[in-house]
A and B are shown apart, each in its own frame.
Chain A
Amino acid sequence: MPAAKHRQQQPLPSLRALAWRRRAAKLDYWLWPWLLPLIILGLWWLGGRQQWLGSQVLPSPGEVLDSLTELLASGELQRDVLISLERVLEGFLLGSALGLALGAAMGLSERASDYLYPLVRLIAYVPLLGWLPLLMLAFGIGETLKAVLVAQAALLPVALNTYNGIRAVPPHYVEVGRIYGFSRRQALWRIILPAAFPMVWSSIRYGLTKSWLALVVVELLASSEGLGFLMVDSRQLYRLDAMLVAVVSIGVVGFVLDQVLAMIEKRILRWRRAGFAS
C-alpha cells in the first residue's frame, strides 16, 4: 500500500500503469483461486490424452462430459437427482422437526431432559451406520428404511444442539422478560428461541449435510434409483465415466442444499436484526 501511494506522486504515464496494475491485481485476486482447479483439470485432460493412467483407472474429462450429456439426454440423471432430492428432503424435514421438538422439550423442561437426554446420548454414541444393519432387518430395504435413516441423521444433531442452545440462553434474559411481564409463551418465542437460534440453525445445516450423506450410503447399499444407485449401477458395469458424473452430481446437490439453507439463514437474520432495530 505505501508503495502505491509513492507511485501516485510520480508523473502521468505511471498513472495509467497504476490503473493497469490495480486492474491486474484485481484480476489476480479473482483468478487466483481458480488456478488450482484449472491445473487439476489440465493435468486430468493431459493425462487422459497421454494415457498416463488409462481410462480403466481414470476416464478423461471428455469421456465424462460425453457421459454427462448422454445421461442428461436420456433423462436418467434428472430423474435420479429428483428422486434423491425428494428422499432427502422428506427424511430431513421429518427428522429435523422431531429433533427440534425433542430438543426444545428437553431444553425447556428439566423433567423431560432428565428422562430423555441420557437416551438420546445413548443413541447418538452409535454412529449412524451402526444402526443401518438393524434398521435394514427391521424395515426391509424400501422407502421406509431410507426415510428412517435420513430422518435419524438429522434428528440427533438437531435435538442435541437445540437442547444445548436453549440451555445456553443466559438466565438473566428470561429474568428481564419476566420483569416486563412476558408470559411463558412470550418468553419462549421472543427471548429463548431467538437467543438459541444461531446454534439451532447451525445444527440444522449440519443435519442436512448428514441427511444427504446418509441417503447416499443407503442408496449405494439398497436402491433401484437415485444418485447413489447411479454410482452403483455404473460401477457394476465398469463405467467410471458415469461414476464420476454421479460423484460430481452428488457434490452439486449437496452444495445447492447447503446454499439454500445459507440463504434462508441470511433472510432470517435480516428479519431478526430489523426486529431489534425497530
Chain B
Amino acid sequence: MSVISLRKLRRGTTIPALILLAWWAVYAFGITDSKLFVPPGQVLTAAATLSEAGELWPAVGQSLLRAMGGFILGAGIGLIMGVLLGMSSRTERFFSLTLHSVKQVSLFAWLPLISVWFGYEDGSKVVFIALAAFFPVVLNTLEGVGNVPRDWVDVARVSHFTPWQMFARLVLPAALPSIFNGIYLSLVFSWLATLGAEYLLGSGIGLGTLLFESRAEFKMDVVLVGLVLTGFIGFALDIIAKATERRLLRWRENTVGA
C-alpha cells in the first residue's frame, strides 16, 4: 500500500474512531444516565441476542425479499415503458403529461392510498416499492433513448433495421449509461421505500418494523443494530450496482466498438 493511500485510510478513519471513542468515554465515565444511552458493547450484545432468538435474519431476509420484488417489478415495467415511449415520440407525448404529474406526488403520500386499495398484506408493500422503483428507471430510460443521435437512427432506418435490431444494437447501447443511472437510483429508492412501507404499513416482520418497534419500546441498542444493518445493506447494494455497471459498460464498449 502506498504512503498516500495509507494516509487517506488514517485520515478517513479518524473521525469515526473519535466518535466511537467519545461514545465509549461517555459510558466509561458515566457522564449521562439517560436510558437512551447504550454503551457500544451493548449494541453488539443486542445483535447477538436478536440473532440467536431468530428475530434478526428473518426480518432482514423479508425486507430484502420485498425490496427485490418491488425493484424487479417496478424497474422492469419502467424499463419496458421507457424504451417503448422513447422510441415513439407520439406515444411519449401521450403519456408524458400524466407521467410527469404523477411523478410530482411525493412518494410516501401514496402509502395510505395503497393501503386502502391493496390491503395490509405484503402485496401492497411490494406495489409501493415497485412504484418507488418505477419512476427513476422510466425517466432515465426515456432520457437515454431520447439521446440516441438522430444520425444513427437515420442510418439504421436506411439499413432497414427491424425494431428489435434497432433496440438491441442501437438504442440499448446508446442509452445504457442513462438507463443504468436510473436503475441505480431505483435500487436506492427501493431500499428507502421498503423501510417506509414497513414503518407505515405495519403487519409482518421486517428490518423496518424491527427498527420502528424498538424505537417505540426505547430499545436504543436494537435501533442501532438496525441502523448499522440498513447501512450495510445500502453499502452492499451500492457495490453490486457499481460492479454491474462496470460489466455492462464494458459489454457496451465491445458492442459499439464492433
Contacts and interface: CB of A to CB of B under 8 A. Distances in A.
B95 A126 contact: no
B8 A114 contact: yes
Given A122-B231, A125-B231, A217-B196, A133 B215 contact: yes
The 7 A-B pairs of least Cβ separation, nearest first, read A133-B215, A118-B12, A251-B105, A130-B230, A114-B11, A126-B231, A125-B234
A132 interface: yes
Interface string B105-125: 111111111011100000000
Interface in A30-44: 32-37, 40
Interface residues of A, number: 55
Interface stretch (A62-70, A93-101, A166-174, A242-250): A242-250
A115 B188 CA distance: 25
A255 B101 CA distance: 8
Interface in A204-222: 212-213, 216-217, 220-221
* Interface of chain B, main secondary structure: helix
Given A118-B12, A252-B104, A221 B199 contact: yes
B101 A251 contact: yes
Contact of B104 (A58, A119, A228, A255): A255
A235 B104 CA distance: 21
B106 A118 contact: no
Contacts of B192: 127-129
A136 interface: yes
A40 B232 CA distance: 42
Given A216-B109, A221-B200, A40 B15 contact: no
A251 B214 contact: no
A151 interface: no
Nearest to B213: A133
Contact of B211 (A35, A40, A130): A130
Interface of A: 29, 32-37, 40, 57-58, 111, 114-119, 122, 124-134, 136-138, 212-213, 216-217, 220-221, 227-228, 231-232, 235, 240, 243-244, 246-248, 250-252, 254-255, 258
Contacts of B224: 134
Contact of B226 (A118, A133, A258): A133
B104 A115 contact: no
* Interface of chain A, main secondary structure: helix
B31 to A, nearest CB: 16
Contacts of B8: 114
B15 A126 contact: no
Contacts of A231: 109, 112
Contacts of A32: 90, 93-94
Contact of B14 (A58, A115, A126, A228): A115
A220 B200 contact: yes
Contacts of B183: none
Contacts of A252: 104
Contacts of B56: none
A130 B195 contact: yes
A240 B196 contact: no
B218 interface: yes
A254 B117 CA distance: 24
